[in-house]
Amino acid sequence: MRDVFSAPGKRLLDRLAGQAEALFAFDFDGTLARILQDRHAPGLTQPTRDALYALAVKAPTAVISGRSLADLSPRVEGIPAHLVGNHGLEGLHTSERVMHQARECCRAWLKAVSDDEGSLARVGVVVEDKTYSLTFHYRQAGSSAVAREAIFHAVSTLAPAPRLVLGKAVVNVIPSGNLHKGSAMLELMHQLKSSGALYVGDDDTDEDVFSLPDERIVSVRIGKKTASAAQWYLTRQSQIGLLLRYLARARSRALST
């Protein structure tokens, strides 16, 4: 894993920015926006918003988030970016049959965990219904270990068995299948006829993109982590504005030559 702001990293970014059909895709929480104690609070800072806007008007840009589209859209309002929600399930013309199945699946799971909701709430766990997936939040829990144990207990009997993806103080409960951020990224690149792409993320669900065996994708993780499949890292989330501005400038240069 190498620093994306190293000389080779910058060369790669310059090259990508020079490709007319390159796609620039970003996760939202922990990547474009800082993670906050209150999950409803995260938003773009004004400098990040301005920088994302500057890039999005010059190049195909996407935000691929675990949040539902209804939740994500107002947070990036006014930015001409492609939006994908629910870890890749929403926003890509996924077939109505698949969406229906995911919806029914989540409805059944919600019903099943409702018996546990009292005991989950007592240890500080909040269940979020995102229609096509569920998220168990435990950022407010007194003990993360106790909260996680309660969550695993609650989801262990769900049928059909979900795909569990751990995140920062969350457990994502997702209908199993081939829809995830990685497949969403490939579908988006296919739809946009992208010749290359950048993807920046910070969490376990982003590993679905980082681990794609696709050499067209430059993967960047927020924070260095040896176990990650990402090729590059950005040291801190607070540098995202810097990266966006770098890309927008490189793009302008490439377009003017």
Q: Cα–Cα distance between 95 and 67 in angstroms, integer?
A: 19
Size of the site for Mg ion (CB under 5 A): 5
Catalytic hit among 27, 29, 202, 206 = 27
Minimum distance of Mg ion from residue 207's CB (angstroms):
11
In the annotation, is 203 catalytic?
no
Q: What is the DSSP string of 188-239?
A: HHHHHT-S-EEEEE-SGGGHHHHT---TTEEEEEES--TT---SEEES-GGG
Minimum distance of Mg ion from residue 40's CB (angstroms):
16
Q: In what order do the strands lie in the sheet with 197-201?
A: 2-3, 232-234, 217-222, 197-201, 23-26, 61-64, 82-84
Q: What is the DSSP string of 170-198?
A: EEEEE--SS-SHHHHHHHHHHHHT-S-EE
For Mg ion, the closer of residues 175 and 201 by Cβ is 201
Residue 90 near Mg ion by CB under 5 A: no
For Mg ion, the closer of residues 27 and 208 by Cβ is 27
Q: Cα–Cα distance between 75 and 5 in angstroms, integer?
A: 27
- Residues in contact with Mg ion, shown as a per-residue x/- string from 27 to 46 under the rule CB under 5 A: x-xx----------------
Minimum distance of Mg ion from residue 99's CB (angstroms):
23
Measured CA distances, 3 to 66, 126, 204, 240, 243 (Å): 25, 36, 19, 13, 12
Indicate the residue whose CB is closest to Mg ion: 30
Q: Which amino acid makes up residue 3?
A: D
- Residues in contact with Mg ion, shown as a per-residue x/- string from 176 to 215 under the rule CB under 5 A: --------------------------xx------------
What single DSSP character describes residue 123?
A: T
For Mg ion, the closer of residues 151 and 206 by Cβ is 206
Residues 1-20 contacting Mg ion, CB under 5 A? none
Residues 134-153 contacting Mg ion, CB under 5 A? none
For Mg ion, the closer of residues 27 and 90 by Cβ is 27
Minimum distance of Mg ion from residue 119's CB (angstroms):
28
For Mg ion, the closer of residues 202 and 208 by Cβ is 202
Q: Name the percent of the chain in helix, strand, coil, to the closest 5.
A: 40, 20, 40
Token pair for 48: 């990040």
Minimum distance of Mg ion from residue 166's CB (angstroms):
12
- Binding residues vs Mg ion (CB under 5 A): 27, 29-30, 202-203
Give the catalytic positions in this structure.
27
